[in-house]
Amino acid sequence: MNKTITVDSLRDLLSKSKDSSSNHLTAICPFCHDDEPKFFINKATQLWDCKKCGEKGNLFKLLKHLGRLDLITDGKIIELIDKLPPLFDDVIEDVAPERIEPADMPIGFKLLDYHPYADARGISDYNRYPLGTAIEPRFRNFLVLQVIEDNLPVAFLGRNLLPKSTIDRLNESYGQQGVNKRVLRWQNSADDFSKLVYGIDEITSNTRTVIVVESVFGKVSVDNFMGRNGVTDVVCVSVFGSKISHHQIVKLLLKGVENVVLMFDADAVQKIKMYSHDLLCYFATVKIGIVRDGEDIDNFTDDDFERVLSSLVSVFEYSNSFIKCNLRL
């Protein structure tokens, strides 16, 4: 979707528009229609707000309200927008590239080109999975993984380098001693991860199919399998847990994704049923990779992947019943 239109086009769209400065236009608000020109729009970013009624947004929201989506030159995006229910309007506005802001990384964060823990978890490409360490005390024993969208670090995940068994043992010991202290396995940035998709920048105009997994290390495992088998037309992305939000759906749609393969852990049966039916409302095909009880995608062998990917099932085969599309994700 084009991020901006010409300033002359903006002037033609708005009533009583005029330059208020070198950077802004003012006009009659197309939402509240107050007589005073309290509608301000930035000529460069084309983000806007009305000082009278409080409405604000980006170019898409303005064009949608004015019925001028024809100014969006990508016909495929117009077709997509027309198919989405009205409740997606604010989501599309929210995922616009100009709304993306970089996250504040922990104090002393330093990108690395090697770390033994990352190596043990299968990471060899540190450009694909940017990570590092920080000197901030609460992150001293943590590996910090950046979440990148539109080439910007928009969030981070902090993974404790201690084994889970050690963390559990320490926390049990603190509890027995009555000590109000816990060792955390993860310490993440204060961002809404339900709106983010790890690996989304890897999707290109040629990508039609994505594999969706629950965790970053699950993605690493899938990526390594596909790389060893020469798969280049499928991209694996990670959400953060066994759920998929409207924001994540819209981001995949706007990237041109048509087909989804859902590979969640075996303990997420009910969530797989619900979210796979929702995905089927928007994507051409949705398939499910069945992970057995006790299996962990993070630790899959090539044989495990071969078994799962060679026996994908449809949404209806998985659930054995039709469930109406649930838009309340």
Instruction: Note the pLDDT of residue 83.
Output: 60
Looking at the chain, the whole-number percentage of residues with pLDDT higher than 70 is: 87
Q: Mean of the pLDDT values across residues 185-210?
A: 93
Instruction: Note the pLDDT of residue 302.
Output: 95
Average of per-residue pLDDT values in the chain: 87
Residue 215's φ and ψ, nearest 5 degrees, are -145, 160
Q: How confident is the model at residue 1 (pLDDT cuts 50, 70, 90)?
A: very low
Instruction: Give tens-digit pLDDT for 137-160.
Output: 999 999 999 999 988 899 999 999
Question: Length of the chain in residues, anyone?
Answer: 329
The C-alpha atoms of residue 113 and residue 251 are separated, in whole angstroms, by 29
For the cut 50, the answer to whether the pLDDT of residue 84 exceeds it is yes
For the cut 70, the answer to whether the pLDDT of residue 61 exceeds it is yes
Domain regions of the chain by residue span: 7-99, 110-191, 194-319
Instruction: Note the pLDDT of residue 89.
Output: 62
The CATH number assigned to the domain with range 194-319 reads 3.40.1360.10
For the cut 70, the answer to whether the pLDDT of residue 88 exceeds it is no
pTM above 0.85, yes or no: no
For the cut 90, the answer to whether the pLDDT of residue 120 exceeds it is yes
Instruction: Note the pLDDT of residue 85.
Output: 61
Which of 62-66, 283-287, 305-309 has the weakest average pLDDT? 62-66
Instruction: Give tens-digit pLDDT for 286-295.
Output: 999 999 988 9
* HEC readout, 195-255: HCCECHHHCCCCCCEEEEECCHHHHHHHHHHHHHCCCCCEEEEECCCCCCCHHHHHHHHHC
Judging by beta carbons within 10 Å of its beta carbon (0-12, 13-18, 19+), is residue 10 exposed, middle or buried?
buried
Q: Mean of the pLDDT values across residues 165-189?
A: 92
Instruction: Note the pLDDT of residue 323.
Output: 44
Q: Which CATH number fits domain 7-99: 1.10.3470, 2.50.20, 3.90.580, 3.90.198?
A: 3.90.580
The C-alpha atoms of residue 48 and residue 26 are separated, in whole angstroms, by 10
Instruction: Give tens-digit pLDDT for 12-52.
Output: 999 999 998 888 999 999 999 999 999 999 988 888 999 99
Same fold? 7-99, 194-319: no
The C-alpha atoms of residue 80 and residue 100 are separated, in whole angstroms, by 21
Q: Mean of the pLDDT values across residues 74-98?
A: 60
